[in-house]
Structure 1
Amino acid sequence: MAAEYTISDLSAEFDITTRTIRFYEEKGLLSPRREGSSRIYTPADRTKLRLILRGKRLGFTLEESRSIIDMYDPEAGNHEQMQSLLAKIREKRHQLEQQLHDIEVMMLDLRDSEERCLEAMASPDQSAKQS
């Protein structure tokens, strides 16, 4: 593993744009050192980027990812960080389960509405009598 990375190295490794990396830098999530106009990223920056992208895939906001990353404390065994991450994972799973339930209810409503429309179109006399 390299001791330093360029923005192009990280962009290629994580299949993201350099603009995305600069955005995370602007938000204060990454802090590369500068050598002239070049950004030099450390292994810690690379790890933070990996965690940010993982958080994004899990549906975390940047602030949620930041708060979890900022809790990193290997001397304390990262217990607080893991507890916070576990709570966020459970919260996101609960939100997704609720969204799935809402979608299932909506699908049933759509099927019911579709069937009523098809029935009404199949018997125009029936729909005229109901008016």
Structure 2
Amino acid sequence: MAAQRLTFKEMCAKFDVTPRTLRYYEYIELLKPDREGRARFYGPRDSARMKLILRGRKFGFSLEDIRQWLLIYEKEGTDVQMKAWIELADGQLEELAEQRKQLDQAMLELQRLRDDTAKALKS
């Protein structure tokens, strides 16, 4: 049984990305679809890589950081690569914690302003 391949359009739909995004990921060599003429076909490897790319973006990593992540994922990484990845992840976790703190503060302030406005309306 042949491995399932997705067309360009199917890949965009499956991962809810724009054609421009998918082409860009190919251009910077994060994805390497099979080409048959002008058609592109994405196999299980590309789907797995796309999941990791989107997960990395969700965590706030740059595409270059994601490239390093993919190298480790594919080649099981050297100790040096894995240690570098841990440092990178630690830095991103700190950044996300700071963003959470700022968001919590903004939400508290907005809630106070909202409550003050609601009180003013009742008066």
TM score, norm. by length of structure 1: 0.65
Matches within 5 A, 1:1-131: 2-71=3-72, 72-74=74-76, 80=79, 83-101=83-101
Larger Rg: 1
Instruction: Count matched residues.
Output: 108
Which of the pair has the greater relative contact order for Cα pairs under 8 Å at 6+ separation? 2
| 1:34-61 per-position Cα deviation (integer Å, ceiling 9, x unaligned) | 1111011121111111111110000000
Gaps of 5+ in 2: 114-123
Shift of 1:5: 1.4
- Separation (CA, whole Å) in 2 of partners of 1:53 and 1:67: 14
Unpaired stretches in structure 1, ≥5 consecutive residues: 115-131
1:79-115 CA-to-partner distances (Å, cap 9, x unmatched) read: 756655443332111112234445677899x89xx9x
For residues 103 and 12 of structure 1, the distance between their equivalents in structure 2, rounded to whole angstroms, comes to 31
**CA RMSD between the two structures:** 2.7
SS class of match (1:30): coil
What is the alpha-carbon distance in structure 2 between the residues aligned to residue 33 and residue 3 of structure 1? 12
Find the aligned partners of 2:62 and 2:40 in 1 and give their Cα distance: 25
TM-score by length of 2: 0.69
